[in-house]
Structure 1
Amino acid sequence: MRAIVQNGYGTADVLRMTEIEPPAIKADEVLVRVHAAGVDRGTWLLMTGQPYAVRLGLGLRGPRDRVAGMDVAGTVVEVGAAVTRFAVGDDVFGTARGSFAELAAARQNTLALKPATLSYEEAAVVAVSGVTALQALRDVGRVRAGQHVLVIGASGGVGTYAVQLAKAFGAEVTGVCSTEKVDLVRSLGSDHVIDYRTADFGTGGHRYDLILDIGGDSSLTRLRRALTPRGTLVIVGGSLDGKWLGLGRQARAVALSLFVRQRLTMVIAKQRHPDMGTLAELIGTGRVAPVVEATYPLADAPEAVRHVGAGKTRGKVAIRV
């Protein structure tokens, strides 16, 4: 089968398409014929091997799992002996092991049935970013109807889901983005939009019950000034320039939270099929919709990853297999 593989860490030049053997599945896994895959920021970070601490789990000189990609949408073609949730022929979406390929193995508890209203390309960009936004808001941020929520990085992969989910939960949402993306964030339902090139969310006098800082670099002091006295800050993603660990700001936030009334915390998302089901329901009712900026053929996957790594994406990028 065709697949995008990497033998070492580095730029998108380490990714190449080649022929490899199809993956073997375990008892609790299914084999998915991949119709589309999603590109997320994590894929780019794993390609670069940064922060360096991730190499302790992935492989010191190169990734043990050579096929890139996590987000997936496709059709089940084989099921493991212990699989009870899916059958051959089911259209599914979620996360898989090496989705930049014609076939990928996926655990049944990281998949859900694909909503009929979504194309494969749209479904392929839901799991990683959508689940992260859902858990950041609902589980860590404890969002409630009527709260004022600030989403910093509202136009990116996680941000576009966070704006829509916060609205679905009944919050009043303010999105922060660049000038050229204001129209996008407003179209997602954001009640207010702040162009960070012309305004500062920390100096307007408004205070927020919940702030999601997605891959930003604002200081904790600046973020705390924008929070209500008992508000919650959720930091999503690591530092953009954290080569060794990338979690210094998160660690400082959690430590400081022990001494102040505000909750300062972070999210480490986990792929769980109940959350995939929640997203599928919200998508099915029209309250949440994936935003796909561009679709690339499998052969151009390195260019797709390079584009996402540049940090200028409007929503998500998909790969058509």
Structure 2
Amino acid sequence: MKAVVSYKYGSPDILELKEVEKPVPLDNQVLIKIHASSLNFGNLVLLKGQPFLARFAFGLIKPKYSIPGGDIAGQIEEVGKDVKQFHPVDEVFGDLSICGWGGLAEYAAVPEHALALKPHNVSFGEAAASPMAGVTALQGLRDKGKLKTGQKVLIHGASGGVGTFAVQLAKTMGAEVTGVCSTRNIEILKAIGADHVIDYTRDDFTQKKEHYDLILGVNGFHPLSAYKRALKPNGRFVHVGGSEAQLFQTLIFGPFISMTGKKEMSNLLQRANQKDLIYLKELLEDEKIKPVIDRRYKISEVQEAFKYFAEGHAQGKVIITI
């Protein structure tokens, strides 16, 4: 089968499309013919080996997983004898980051707990856009952010993959949603339901009088003190992504700030799980959320796809058709 491979850390130029051995599913796995995959920040971490701490999970010297790709959607061709939930020809989607990656390939052997049935009303590309970004947004809002109906949430970096899901999910939770983005993305956020949009090229929300119950930092760069200033007295800040400096600030100083006051500053480590994936499936089928897709690339164009995604300006998701 054809697969994208990388045997060392580096830039997108090291990615190669090669013929590799087709996987054989174990007793608890299914064999999926992959139709589409999508790119997430984790793909860049696995490619570059940065930040360095990630190498303790991905391999110190070279990548532990030679075939990248987390989000996938496709059709089951074969099931192991112990598989209970799925059957051949079932259409599924899932996040392979919890089971060895490998989504940028024609086939993958995957444990059933990493998958859910694909929403019947979306394409394979739309399904592949959803698992990692959707679950990250969900866990940031619901689990870390403890968002409740009627609360005010600000999503910093609202026009990317996680951000566009976060805007829509927050609305399903009954929140008043403010999205922060650049000028060119304002209409996208309005189209997916944001109540207010702040153009960060013109306004700094941390200097305004408005305060929020929750700030979700999807692509943040402000110091923690600025986010703290924009929170209500019992507000929460959840770091999802952004600059490495902000990540380390949240990891090191966040617990201290949280212990010494009523405002909480925390970091989200997304954990893929089937229950949340099924919840996303139901929301997609009910048309309460919809993936925002920026560009689609063929698997033969994987270097170009990674380079575009690494620029950090994607409007929603970048899809790779297998």
**TM-score, normalised by the number of residues in structure 2:** 0.96
Q: Distance in 2 between matches of 1:275 and 1:195?
A: 31
Secondary structure of 1:181's aligned partner? helix
Question: What residue number does 2:243 align with?
Answer: 240
Query: Quick check: 1:91 aligned with 2:91?
Result: yes
Q: Does 2:16 align with 1:16?
A: yes
Separation (CA, whole Å) in 2 of partners of 1:162 and 1:296: 24
Tell me which residue corresponds to 1:277. 278
Provide the rounded CA distance (Å) in 2 between the counterparts of 1:48 and 1:87.
Answer: 37
Aligned partner of 1:108 among 85, 93, 112:
112
Counterpart of 2:164 in structure 1 is: 160
- The answer on whether the counterparts of 1:235 and 1:250 sit within 8 Å (CA) in structure 2 is no
Matches within 5 A, 1:136-175: 136-175=140-179
State the 1:198 CA deviation: 0.3
Kindly indicate whether the alpha-carbon contact (under 8 Å) linking 1:250 and 1:266 is maintained by their aligned counterparts in 2: yes
How big is the shift at 1:246? 5.2
CA shift digits 1:111-155 (9 cap, x unpaired)? 111111110111001001000000111111111110000000000
Paired residue type of 2:260? F
1:39-78 to structure 2, matched below 5 A, reads 39-78=39-78
> Once the two structures are superposed, what CA deviation does each residue of 1:265-297 show, in whole Å capped at 9, x if it has no partner?
121111111101110111111110001111100
* 8 Å Cα contact 2:250/2:265 also seen in 1: no
Aligned-residue Cα RMSD (Å) equals 1.4
Partner Cα separation in structure 1 for residue 33 and residue 319 of structure 2: 16
| Per-residue deviation, 1:26 | 3.1
Q: Identity of counterpart residues, as a percentage?
A: 40
Count of aligned pairs: 318
Secondary structure of the residue aligned to 1:247 is helix
Does 1 or 2 have the higher relative contact order (CA < 8 Å, sep 6+)?
Answer: 1
CA distance in 2, matches of 1:46, 1:188: 30
Deviations 1:20-67 (A, max 9, x none): 001233333211100000111110121000011211222222112100
Q: Could you say which residue in structure 2 is the equivalent of 1:320?
A: 321
Which structure 1 segments of 5+ residues have no match? none
In 1, are the aligned partners of 2:215 and 2:231 still within 8 Å (CA)?
A: yes
Matched AA of 1:284: E
The residue that corresponds to 2:267 in the other structure is: 266
Aligned to 1:213: 217
Structure-2 residue corresponding to 1:291: 292
- After TM superposition, the structure 1 = structure 2 runs for residues 25-44 of structure 1, keeping only pairs within 5 Å, are 25-44=25-44
The separation in 2 between residues aligned to 1:286 and 1:251, in whole angstroms, is 40
> TM-score by structure 1 length?
0.96
C-alpha distance in 2, partners of 1:304/1:192? 31
CA distance in structure 1 between the partners assigned to 2:31 and 2:279 by the alignment: 23
CA distance in structure 2 between the partners assigned to 1:223 and 1:175 by the alignment:
14
